[in-house]
Structure 1
């Protein structure tokens, strides 16, 4: 755990140790060739494909899903709409035989009967199918009263369900191309399901909560992500099943090859009845009674059978039937019977058919869900109805992402091209000194508000200018963060040093207003802001208004800043900083693992949290958490919430969890049994599975380097968290020119994440690994001592353009590293390294 300065309380100093365990290579080796910076990672490629297919094919998939859900319970709905048509009251007299039914139907319709479907259930109306008329593929069908033979009324709603089925199967297009389009959409759905699985794959995939838990307390974008991803996980298996089975009917080459594998005879294309073209012998008159009696003798326990009548003299009557103990409705047996003497010429029970044929027969039941009974049908229906949910949430997330990108582009535009945001008049300087990005965001928002009020502005970072440049402005509005105990942010240290020099220029004539950001948990609250204010006045600058202090995101102080800007501009100014009050998301405590049992430096835990699905962050980002007391209550005095604490993230989104390294603080005589509020809650008192209030915070000053440049990572104790996320990001990007220097107390108990680090070393991801343990041996060697010993190698790496990342305790380790760099590079060299953005720190 590292705690960010502006939004956290004091943390116990981590032990950074030196010593005996140094694993290294003789020199930084040549890196394997990394992909160009413009080349996206595999995950980015899959993400782009996922959203592109989702917003293009997604709309049509919604139609297919809704139409599929519509026909899932077609028979039940038709029976509900047409009572007494397919089921009549049971009578004591015998039901008519197929022979009698076919004669009645042929006489009533004047058409040849092609087949008769009979049901064993008493009162079920048999169905008679007629031969197709000339030019048609399929003949008409009617239901007959099982006891009288009367033609039953036409089924109301049947045409609608036929239309819905055509929409589902070929999108109302001509049949052949329509099936192929539907097949292409099925492939799109398969791609969405599998790419979604890849994008969501967690580091610990065996934790079912990570996959299936939905948090209804989430809001906004987090709620949409969680709903989209968790519901998608629930439906994933169903969608894979639906798409794979749907492809069987969409493409003839797939169906023909599957049938050939299963040993089924090739399909014969069903051509329209040509009617009068050519002479065709009339269908023979067939006596069905003998065949019907023989079928009942040889197929006991049948529940449904379709008997196909001969079309030529000498042909058999073909029976296709389903037994009462059949595993599904398509587990069909077949039988051929001579109508003259009732002899069975062919009998193929379903159980005796080949494995391939039996497997093919389950394709339709799987697609409809009937293979798993009523529960399966309900699940398939709900999954089909959920397709619009994914389309809608996907579009909302896409539009939200577009909006966010436009906002970021607008903010960047304000800093580019000379930074002057108005064409006329002397601009007002809006400057910022930022460590985590909060001061920069407030400065940008202030500049936009002033510009809208008609005030020409120029936006500059203090680390980009010299004090003398302030003289070209008449007014300056400065937003300044405080780092650590009253220090300037890393990037602003050069400006602060030059401002303090005796040769600093006079700033007489400059009027300025200053917004100082800080945290009252620190002794030097807003220390840098006060020091900057005093020094500017000492050099002759005067106040536009008195300094305004902000404790974290205090809305009262931010309102005072807004009012001061309004007075300065002479126009109304909208409230500044309201977006800083973004709500906290609900995250769930998945696990906590003690990494150093028996350590002299206090227990260090790996904390794993699960939160909104597909939430994104960069290596180096922070998690701001509001802790609870040991009893789960919030607040120090029952009225105010505890102050939030910020922790460096030790994982990446692709790991599937948000991971932290948290040192358990102990204070004699303190509440919570002597535990620190935040560390005690996370490591000791919060029950597994409980909810935590957390929001992610960008940390631009500690942004990752994903270019093909060497990187040196230095840290101690819980500072390994921030370094680990950077190294994981570099590994994913294929960047192996990395050097890690890490310190702890004792090798025996404090070898944190040893397996991962050793794996990186042996795979070549780490070109060099230096570990020091300060309590092993007589000499207390710390990580900064090891860096001093390797000064020559340090210069070589820096000459190759290396960046330096430092994460861990501010006092001791970070200060020691700073001193070594000053020795090796000199003040000008260190200033240049900082100004180039090559010296990045996340220290506490």
Structure 2
């Protein structure tokens, strides 16, 4: 934004109270809406269960390709060279293995693939849950070498399924972790639910150009969305095996017999009747055309049939197995249950394992499950980094509060302390007040530092002496946060302040007719209430060193000791920046040309959203604008809201080209004409950065409402970029301009934020299109939504023209909240303005 000269509200104002209010009430008060509750649950589960979930994810990824890894580590064990002779039958293989190992054979798994080694299972010995298994050479029946790495994968499976704990409690813990992962997935889905959920780009597009916290959040959210369906499938299927009550109920619904009934009636490695299963095997091959895998369970008692569980070549997945029973004596088929004829419930239950392993979708499914499992460390790392970043930011805010309050009260000396109070808009008054308080303390004077934002006029009676630093906002008005104090003081009658001595340092800008207007009004009212002056009111025009020296002298008289000069460090030097480019944003607009000005400067330059740039203007011919005209306003530095962040790598401004009658500078405003028209690309621009704490960003998880018009979008854009990079998405932007066809300023960026959910709501109002309407009208029409946002703790930011837009927004808020409600909003630091 720009003005024809440095605005009083910026040159002389300050902020301190606003910054402190952000740090204190906003940190101390949480607005527990549902989204906030889910956010707290999401990060709490993530930083607690997330670490253990990493172990489950990595172990699951390891098991996904276990067979391939074992074959790679053990060539020639599970697959042998194909020979021309016929492979041995199950009967031959079981006889050879039983004779060689002296154990009863329980079952044997055969493979139709040539060269695949059958796997034979012995009956479990007493006290064992399951028996040993070996692989046999399909052509000789010789026992194959033990698989190298098999013990590692068994250990990994125990880690994955029950975290190496005893089996039953381990399953319970693993199930609880599965529920945690399900909660993380669903809460993450809720937290990033965008305004336009049907736009796939909103969900699945990752922006690699992001940096820092914003990059982490975007990676965390987008990758989580990609993996969401997989995690839901993994957790739901994992819960099936973790809790008996879940598994038993699902099995009962599916018509499966209870697991105890499914178990073998007899355990142990004792002798079983010798049964020749040759005829049964021949019969099976006749009735199961196209089989690829067959598990043959041998009878455990006389008269029992041989049980076959087999997989057809056209089976939809690895657990889609048919069942068959064949009498061993004559090969009679006693029972046949193809998979396609099994009950629907039973078939659905059989899908659980393939879904969990990803094999239901073949090799692509296994790859997807593996990648998703390997993604759990990514979410844990990025989640921890985001959490630690929030902790660091919180500690920084707490440290800032401690620094601002360091000189607030020094009660070591006897007697009443001297009140050092300030009324601040952009931060200068607070800085001068704190510096004055520290100087007085060093001189042995007890002080009590207070912001008039949170001060009641009645409290003045507690003091005998007060030193006040008062900034003026706009045309003689009180700073935003001090309006309540000023109103209450004006309503006070009588002489309750008789006996109070006060000194006033009034900050202002002589360009405005009501120079230091609020300081004078405040002093006048204090006099009317019976207070007396310690010394004549001291006016400061911007950073006038002579006036500040007078203030230092006055403080020295009050303390009886020498006082170092106050405010000397306020005058920062101007650095040389370069004009990198300028872009006209509204060609054809009815309003003045609006340009995006890009500057490059010192590599170590840093600022935060809401900061300002003071620029020394030049004449159209490039000559120094300072001192080129007898009017002091002519050569004053111009102040602009920064539209970018340091992480953007450049400083951006939105500058409205000012036009006026006359030949000077070809009818252009001094600074705006230089920046938007006359300055050659690459030319030097003298600039200094100015903090603006009253318009500081809210980088905590509260909603924010951004309202502005014209070049006021600059400051709002910087705020929204900062919120995006902090992963804070509850943002509502109301922006006004003239014509949609010509004045859709930064339209692509705003629409992108809306599409990705960074903007929860975007209202663009164009006053010259159809019915004449302004942002204050749209805000009034959205009163219900505004109430909801404010009830959730929303902070309101206003940036743009003071007359019309800003005063209109003020009126709407007063209508909606009443005077007391508006005062409370200001006092809480939840109504922040940067207007001109």
Verify same fold: TM over 0.5.
yes
Following superposition, the deviation at residue 182 of structure 1 comes to 0.9
Mapped pair 1:288 → 2:280? no
- Out of 495, 500, 510, the position equivalent to 2:520 is 500
> Quick one: higher RCO (CA 8 Å, sep 6+), 1 or 2?
1
Q: Distance in 2 between matches of 1:808 and 1:420?
A: 37
Compare 808-817 and 202-211 and name the one that shifted more: 808-817
Aligned ranges for residues 301-320 of structure 1 at < 5 Å?
Answer: 301-320=290-309
Deviation digits for residues 725-771 of structure 1 (CA, Å, limit 9, x no counterpart): xxxxxxxxxxxxxxxxx99857944457999879856xx66799xxx
Q: Distance in 1 between matches of 2:439 and 2:68?
A: 62
Q: Distance in 2 between matches of 1:445 and 1:324?
A: 85
SS for the counterpart of 1:695 is: helix
Following superposition, the deviation at residue 114 of structure 1 comes to 0.8
Tell me the residue number matched to 2:318.
Answer: 329
Following superposition, the deviation at residue 391 of structure 1 comes to 2.2
SS for the counterpart of 2:191 is: helix
Aligned ranges for residues 814-833 of structure 1 at < 5 Å?
Answer: 814=806
Aligned ranges for residues 387-786 of structure 1 at < 5 Å?
Answer: 387-413=376-402, 419-420=408-409, 423=412, 434-435=424-425, 459-461=449-451, 489-491=479-481, 496=506, 497=517, 499-500=519-520, 529-530=543-544, 533=547, 544-545=564-565, 556=573, 624=644, 626-627=651-652, 637=682, 663=710, 694-696=721-723, 745=767, 748-750=770-772
SS for the counterpart of 1:249 is: helix
Could you tell me whether the CA contact under 8 Å between 1:55 and 1:395 is conserved in 2? yes
Following superposition, the deviation at residue 413 of structure 1 comes to 4.5
Q: Distance in 1 between matches of 2:134 and 2:197?
A: 54
Following superposition, the deviation at residue 145 of structure 1 comes to 0.7
Tell me the residue number matched to 2:204.
Answer: 212
Mapped pair 1:228 → 2:273? no
Q: Distance in 2 between matches of 1:628 and 1:804?
A: 22
Following superposition, the deviation at residue 102 of structure 1 comes to 0.6
Could you tell me whether the CA contact under 8 Å between 1:623 and 1:695 is conserved in 2? no
Which residues of structure 1 form unaligned runs of 5+?
A: 11-35, 515-525, 559-592, 605-616, 666-675, 683-690, 699-703, 705-712, 722-741, 769-802
Deviation digits for residues 764-797 of structure 1 (CA, Å, limit 9, x no counterpart): 66799xxxxxxxxxxxxxxxxxxxxxxxxxxxxx
SS for the counterpart of 2:110 is: strand
Tell me the residue number matched to 1:175.
Answer: 167
Following superposition, the deviation at residue 267 of structure 1 comes to 2.0
- Out of 350, 373, 377, the position equivalent to 1:361 is 350
Following superposition, the deviation at residue 813 of structure 1 comes to 5.2
Mapped pair 1:809 → 2:836? no
Provide closer, same or farther for how the CA distance between residues 529 and 204 of structure 1 changes in structure 2, counting only shifts above 3 A: farther
- Out of 286, 300, 322, the position equivalent to 1:297 is 286
Deviation digits for residues 132-162 of structure 1 (CA, Å, limit 9, x no counterpart): 1111110111000111111001111111111
Tell me the residue number matched to 2:107.
Answer: 115
Provide closer, same or farther for how the CA distance between residues 330 and 443 of structure 1 changes in structure 2, counting only shifts above 3 A: farther
Could you tell me whether the CA contact under 8 Å between 2:107 and 2:122 is conserved in 1? yes
Following superposition, the deviation at residue 469 of structure 1 comes to 11
SS for the counterpart of 1:303 is: strand
Aligned ranges for residues 180-259 of structure 1 at < 5 Å?
Answer: 180-259=172-251
Could you tell me whether the CA contact under 8 Å between 2:709 and 2:735 is conserved in 1? no
Which residues of structure 2 form unaligned runs of 5+?
A: 11-27, 487-503, 507-516, 557-562, 576-584, 595-608, 611-640, 646-650, 656-678, 739-744, 746-763, 789-794
SS for the counterpart of 1:296 is: helix
Deviation digits for residues 246-299 of structure 1 (CA, Å, limit 9, x no counterpart): 11111112112222222223322677997689xx8x422222221112211221
Following superposition, the deviation at residue 444 of structure 1 comes to 7.8
Could you tell me whether the CA contact under 8 Å between 1:414 and 1:444 is conserved in 2? no
Could you tell me whether the CA contact under 8 Å between 1:433 and 1:440 is conserved in 2? yes
- Out of 342, 347, 370, the position equivalent to 1:381 is 370
Tell me the residue number matched to 1:798.
Answer: none
Mapped pair 1:348 → 2:314? no
Following superposition, the deviation at residue 397 of structure 1 comes to 2.6
Could you tell me whether the CA contact under 8 Å between 1:228 and 1:393 is conserved in 2? yes
Could you tell me whether the CA contact under 8 Å between 2:61 and 2:373 is conserved in 1? yes
Give the total of aligned pairs: 653
Q: Distance in 2 between matches of 1:819 and 1:289?
A: 95
Tell me the residue number matched to 2:753.
Answer: none
Tell me the residue number matched to 2:742.
Answer: none
Following superposition, the deviation at residue 118 of structure 1 comes to 0.8
Q: Distance in 1 between matches of 2:183 and 2:230?
A: 14
- What is the Cα-based RMSD across aligned positions, in Å? 6.1
Q: Distance in 2 between matches of 1:57 and 1:200?
A: 21
Could you tell me whether the CA contact under 8 Å between 1:482 and 1:528 is conserved in 2? no
Following superposition, the deviation at residue 390 of structure 1 comes to 2.1
Could you tell me whether the CA contact under 8 Å between 2:273 and 2:302 is conserved in 1? yes
Q: Distance in 2 between matches of 1:101 and 1:309?
A: 12
Q: Distance in 1 between matches of 2:241 and 2:204?
A: 32
Deviation digits for residues 714-733 of structure 1 (CA, Å, limit 9, x no counterpart): 99879xx9xxxxxxxxxxxx
Q: Distance in 1 between matches of 2:69 and 2:62?
A: 10
- Out of 58, 62, 74, the position equivalent to 2:54 is 62
Q: Distance in 2 between matches of 1:655 and 1:37?
A: 10
Provide closer, same or farther for how the CA distance between residues 232 and 253 of structure 1 changes in structure 2, counting only shifts above 3 A: same
